[in-house]
Amino acid sequence: MTYLRRFFSVSADTPGGYTANDRFAVAHGCQDMVGNAKVPDVVFIEQSRDDPYETQTLTITGTPTGGTFTITYAGQTTAPIAYNASAATVQTALAALSNIGAGNVACTGGALPGAAVVIDFSGGALAGTAPALATTTSALTGGTTPAVAIAVSLTLTSRKFTYITSDDTNVYLSADGAGTVTVVTA
């Protein structure tokens, strides 16, 4: 005999005006094999977190006086970027890559090498999916061992969701703050 098990995934924001540790419900839509509402067998609560690669910081050390560097994103490499590029120049070079495109990256700060350039993927289509950037430094000249580095700061926005109970139509949770919870029932 073969048993079929239906899987459900529902997502909901913590209700507006929510007070920490208040109970709230997320409708799950579980049904038995003939379509009747059913209490889920298992409930997994999945919390979201910020993508650690959405914001990356580009710096140049060693005070170069000339040359270029490149940035590689998911297998594609920019055209050479001048050692003293502005944030706008870095943004243009990244947006020219077909796997990034215009509107999917914003750069602030700079100009290099005196100030860092912050590369932000959070506002476009790449939000939540951006891989770490890589650089090449072999074409920088002058200074003392010039190098390009990209730093990734991992910032987690975590909220604890506590499973309380469930019934035929809802999973009841409490949370320590506002946020989004995804409830997967099996």
pLDDT, one tens digit per residue, over 159-170 is 566 677 777 666
> What pLDDT score was predicted for residue 88?
97
Q: What residue type is 160 in one-letter code?
A: K
Q: Domain residues of the chain, as ranges?
A: 55-152
Helix (H) or strand (E) holding 135: strand 134-136
Please tell me the predicted confidence (pLDDT) of residue 177.
Answer: 58
In this structure, which amino acid lies at residue 118?
V
Share of the chain above pLDDT 70, in %: 54
What digits encode the pLDDT tens for the residues 30-73? 666 677 766 665 555 555 555 555 788 999 999 999 999 999 99
Identify the pLDDT of residue 121: 83
pLDDT tens-digit series, residues 2-30 = 433 344 445 555 555 555 555 656 666 66
Residue 144: DSSP 8-state = S
- pLDDT of 129 reads 67
CB 24 within 8 Å of CB 18: yes
Instruction: Determine the pLDDT at residue 8.
Output: 47
Dig out the tokens for 93 from the structure: 């070079």
Structure-token match 């910020």, residue found: 50
* Cα 28 from chain centre: 26
pLDDT of residue 166: 73
Enumerate residues 6+ apart whose C-beta is below 8 A from 16. none
Q: Name the pTM for this structure.
A: 0.59
Write down the pLDDT at residue 185. Answer: 45
Q: Note the pLDDT tens digit of each residue in 92-132.
A: 999 999 989 888 899 999 899 999 999 988 767 777 667 78
- Give phi and psi for 157, each to the nearest 5: -110, 100
Q: Is 95 helix (H, G, I), strand (E, B) or coil?
A: helix
Nearest CA among 176, 51, 185 for reference residue 123:
51
Residue type, 168: D
What confidence score (pLDDT) does residue 38 get?
A: 67
- Kindly state the average pLDDT of the residues 71-85: 94
Rounded Cα–Cα distance for residues 171 and 178 (Å): 17
